[in-house]
Amino acid sequence: MPETTKLYETQWGMVIDLDRCTGCSACVVACNAENNIATVGDEQCARGRNMQWIHVQRFYEGEYPNVTAYHAPMMCQQCGNAPCESVCPVFASSHSEDGLNQQVYNRCIGTRFCANNCAYHVRVFNFYEPYWPAPLEQQLNPDVTVRGAGVMEKCTFCVQRIRRATLDAKVEKRKLIDGELRPACVQACPAHAMFFGELTDKSSLVNKLWEENAQRSLRVLQEKNTQPNVIYLKRVQVPETDVL
């Protein structure tokens, strides 16, 4: 049985099956809509100031015309030993009780030390005040704050959904059912390549997938001892056969 990275009572984690991922970017669109991420436009993107909490990395193997492309969604890895936390001078980047690497916006003073120390390059800096022309402001998610200029942003595993589902289960005096809580990216994935759940629950689907696919599971840059809680399942290499 794989071991979790930290001894929390609850440790949220994600399993991403790269053999299923088609690179459609539905997860990116869902994340933008769920978390009130502003569109920065062509000029800001050209300056490297894009605002995305999750992006799909594309890799290519072989030489033309025998080229194979594969994709890997990359978001905050919710590291158990997060390098971004140790460098923040105001403790805006810290760990929650359920093992999430959280970002406290009203503490952040925009030093960007955390972005420099992130091995995955998944933190983004808000260079300007976000703006949504009418009537687009009516589509904003009321459960997520709109961040102002000068703060760092990143994936939160849709913490607002986690808190809502946890409180609903507490009111109903029951435990969370495995699979009923899904971040926006997991919910929107048409290929069902992303799975979310408790890594500390041995009966959870994410733990079962991790255990059953141990030979093709990996954690990105785990040699840096960041202890990420996003597990990737490598693509299945099918040998070529002659077609008669």
- The predicted-structure confidence for 153-170, as pLDDT tens digits, reads as follows 999 999 999 999 999 999
| pTM across the whole model | 0.89
Percent of the chain with pLDDT over 70: 94
Q: Count up the domains in the chain and report the number.
A: 1
Q: Is residue 228 predicted with pLDDT exceeding 60? A: yes
Q: Could you give the CA distance from residue 195 to residue 16 in angstroms, rounded to a whole number?
A: 6
Q: Is residue 48 predicted with pLDDT exceeding 90? A: no
Q: What is the pLDDT, as a whole number, of residue 1? A: 45
Place of tokens 């490297």: 48
| 242 assigned to some structural domain | no
| 239 assigned to some structural domain | no
| 79 assigned to some structural domain | yes
Maximum C-alpha span of the chain: 66
As a residue count, the chain comes to 244
| 5 assigned to some structural domain | no
Q: What is the pLDDT, as a whole number, of residue 244? A: 47
| 161 assigned to some structural domain | yes
Q: Is residue 239 predicted with pLDDT exceeding 80? A: no
| 4 assigned to some structural domain | no
Write out pLDDT tens, residues 177-207: 988 999 999 999 999 999 999 998 888 999 9
Q: How confident is the model at residue 10 (pLDDT cuts 50, 70, 90)?
A: confident
Q: What is the pLDDT, as a whole number, of residue 241? A: 53
Q: Is residue 4 predicted with pLDDT exceeding 50? A: no
| 6 assigned to some structural domain | no
CATH at 122: 3.30.70.20
Q: 167: Cβ–Cβ under 8 A, 6 or more apart, which residues? A: none
Report residue 41 as tokens: 């436009």
Residue 80: domain span? 12-233
| 142 assigned to some structural domain | yes
Asked whether 234 and 218 are in contact (CB, 8 A), the reply is: yes
